[in-house]
Every structure is written in structure tokens, then in C-alpha cells.
Amino acid sequence: MPADSHSGKDTYMEIDGLLTNRDPNLNIVSPYIGPYYARMLLGLARRKNVRIITSEPKLESSKRAVAYINSRGNRKASLVKWSLYMIVLEAILTLFRMYPLDFYILPVFILGWLALYAHYRSGMNLRIRMKVVTKDFIHEKLFISDTKAIVGSANLTYGGTHKNIEHIEVISDPERIRGLADHFESLWSSY
């Protein structure tokens, strides 16, 4: 099955369609990621596995987007870790009878479970991993889901998909998608 070719300012329709489809896996190679797509990818990472390979950001907006993706889970995960440490500490102190169980430990357990619930509900279990390549400049643009792939010139920025005149190839042939997925795995393991 041949690739479907698109040129113009409406490449976002195909790219956004691939990003938001029902496939459980999404692999992306793009030298630049904008804030618009950083927020979208974090939202998608609540329900699908997202892996991104990007170059060390040179544009300020791309720096902010990469930092946003990297810091999102870490900041929230530290709250959960702190809550779990407090629960363990309170349990140990209670076992040694340093203070009564009913007065101190119950509120800490409640706070800990609320933190775990917030962790689950707010998407802190984000299934997103990103490799920022510093020794080489990754310039290719590749978007792969389980049933579709896109290659072309569009960066994963709002301007790159909505404003620039870009050219992309939409691929739905399973054999070609497997080949591109193998290429992605090769890049992923080499960085």
C-alpha cells in the first residue's frame, strides 16, 4: 500500500490524528517539541505508552517544553514518596510506643492514602519516556503508532504543524510501519 502524501499548512490534521488515535503505543522523533504538543503528550501518556527522542533543545520554547515533560512526573512523584516515608516513619514510631496510635498515625495514614489517590487520579503514573540527545543532532521527524506512521518535515511544534508549509507521508502499510518501528528501536537503544 503506498504512502499518502500531504503538503501544506494542514499537516496537523494527520499528525494530531496519529497522536490521539486509540493505539496503545506512540513513538516520536522530532528535534523540536513545542509547549502545545508537550501538554498534549502528557495528557496522552495517561492512557498510552509514549517515547520521544529529541535533540538538545536550542529554541527557548522547545527548552521549556522538554523541561515541562521531564519535570512533570518527578515533582509529583516526590510528593508521593514523601507521603510514603511519613507513613512508614509514623508506623515505626507507633510500634515503639513513642506516641499513641489513634492520635498521630490515623491522620498520616489518611493523608498518605489521599496522596496515593491523587497520584493515581492526576496522571502521575504517566507512561512517557524521553531521551534528549546531546552528542548528535537528531533532525528526522518520525511519528509511529501501532497502525500508522508519519515521516516528513514537520517538527512537533504548533508552528511546524499548523502554520508552516510542510510535507509528510502517511504510512499505513504494516510492513513499512514495522520497519520504521525497528528504526526507532535502533535509535532508542543507541542513545
Place of cell 546531546: 134
Amino acid type, 80:
V
Mark whether 38 and 116 lie in a shared domain.
Answer: no
Mark whether 166 and 115 lie in a shared domain.
Answer: no
Segments of the chain scoring below 50 in pLDDT: 73-76
Mark whether 168 and 87 lie in a shared domain.
Answer: no
- pLDDT tens-digit readout, 45-83: 888 999 999 987 776 666 777 777 776 644 445 555 666
Structurally, the chain folds into a number of domains equal to: 2
Mark whether 37 and 76 lie in a shared domain.
Answer: no
Q: What is the CATH number of the domain that holds 154?
A: 3.30.870.10
Q: Which of 44, 30, 14, 29 is nearest to 162 (CA)?
A: 14
Place of cell 514518596: 81
- pLDDT tens-digit readout, 91-103: 666 666 655 555 5
> How is residue 12 written as a grid cell?
496537523
Q: What CA–CA distance (Å, rounded) separates 134 from 156?
A: 18
What is the extent of the structural domain holding 184?
4-71+126-190
Mark whether 63 and 77 lie in a shared domain.
Answer: no
Mark whether 83 and 8 lie in a shared domain.
Answer: no
The pLDDT assigned to 174 comes to 97
